Amino acid sequence: MIFKLIGDGRPYPEHGLSHREWAQIPPRQVRLDTLITTKAVLDLHSLLAKDSTFYGDLFPHVVQWRGDLYLEDGLHRALRSALHQRSILHARVLELPTDG
């Protein structure tokens, strides 16, 4: 098993963070098997592209909400880690408050 669950969509509230705000969150280690994806489909061109991280953040974006970790951006990076038999990746984790 690579991920905890394969999701399709974002169940958490909109956070509105810009790329610049994401960049302010220091990366930390996250186990792949604790992540729930927010995309059920991956474009193989993105996965296999040599410059896939050239234009974006080097670190995946993860949202922590209600005790779960949702992989919002960086699915191709996470899969590359799994293909290289790594169980951990470095990601920026945004902790959202749990609403009542």
Give dist(CA 17, CA 73) in Å, integer: 12
Whole-prediction pTM:
0.87
pLDDT less than 50: residues of the chain: 100
Q: Which residue has the tokens 């909109």?
A: 14
**Closest to 65 (Cα-Cα) out of 96, 34, 28, 94:** 96
pLDDT score for 36:
97
Which residues, at least 6 apart from 40, have a Cβ–Cβ distance to it below 8 Å? 6, 7, 8
The pLDDT of residue 63: 98
How many residues are recorded in the chain?
Answer: 100
Full strand arrangement of the beta sheet holding 88-95: 5-6, 35-37, 68-73, 61-65, 88-95, 27-31
pLDDT of residue 100: 47
According to the model, what pLDDT value does residue 17 have?
A: 95
> pLDDT at position 38, please?
94
Encoding tokens for residue 96?
Answer: 């959202």
Longest CA–CA separation in the chain, Å: 44
